Amino acid sequence: MGSFKKILRNVLGLRTVPPDFVGYENLIAFMESRQLHRLDGDIVEIGAFMGGGTVRLARYAQKYEKVVYVIDIFNPSLDQTASRGGMTACEVYEAYLGGNQMLAVYQEATRGFDNIVTIIEDSMKVRFPEEQKFVFGFVDGCHEKAHVENDFHIIWPHLVSGGVIGCHDYKYEDWSEVTEAIEGLIEQHRDEIEEMHEIVGSYGITSILMVKK
Query: Which residue(s) pair with 206 in the sheet?
Result: 170, 200
The residues, ordered by sequence, that sit 6+ positions from 30 with a Cβ below 8 Å of its Cβ are 164, 197, 199, 209
pLDDT at 202: 86
Cα 103 from Cα 65, distance rounded (Å): 25
pTM: 0.91
pLDDT at 5: 43
Cα 88 from Cα 154, distance rounded (Å): 25
Q: How many CB atoms are located within 10 Å of the residue 52 CB?
A: 22
**Strands of the 193-200 sheet, one edge to the other:** 116-120, 68-72, 42-46, 134-139, 159-170, 206-212, 193-200
Helical residues (DSSP H) of the chain, grouped into ranges: 2-12, 24-33, 52-63, 89-97, 102-110, 145-155, 176-188
> Angle formed by the axes of helices 102-110 and 52-63, to 10°?
30
pLDDT tens for 161-205 read 999 999 999 999 999 999 999 999 999 999 999 999 999 998 899
pLDDT at 85: 81
Cα 44 from Cα 54, distance rounded (Å): 9
> Angle formed by the axes of helices 24-33 and 52-63, to 10°?
20
pLDDT at 121: 98
If pLDDT is split at 50, 70 and 90, which confidence band does 18 have?
A: confident
pLDDT tens for 108-150 read 999 999 999 999 999 999 999 999 999 999 999 999 999 999 9
pLDDT tens for 83-114 read 888 889 999 899 989 899 999 999 999 999 99
CA nearest to 181, candidates 140, 147, 212: 147
Residue type, 37: H
Query: Which residue(s) pair with 42 in the sheet?
Result: 134
On the question of pLDDT at 10 being above 50, the answer is: no
On the question of pLDDT at 1 being above 90, the answer is: no
Q: Domains, the chain, ranges and CATH?
A: 17-212 (3.40.50.150)
> Angle formed by the axes of helices 102-110 and 89-97, to 10°?
60
| DSSP letter assigned to residue 18 | P
Mean pLDDT to the nearest integer, 43-69? 97
Mean pLDDT to the nearest integer, 49-61? 96
Mean pLDDT to the nearest integer, 155-159? 98
What is the chain's length?
213
Mean pLDDT to the nearest integer, 48-72? 97
Which one is predicted more confidently, 207 or 10?
207
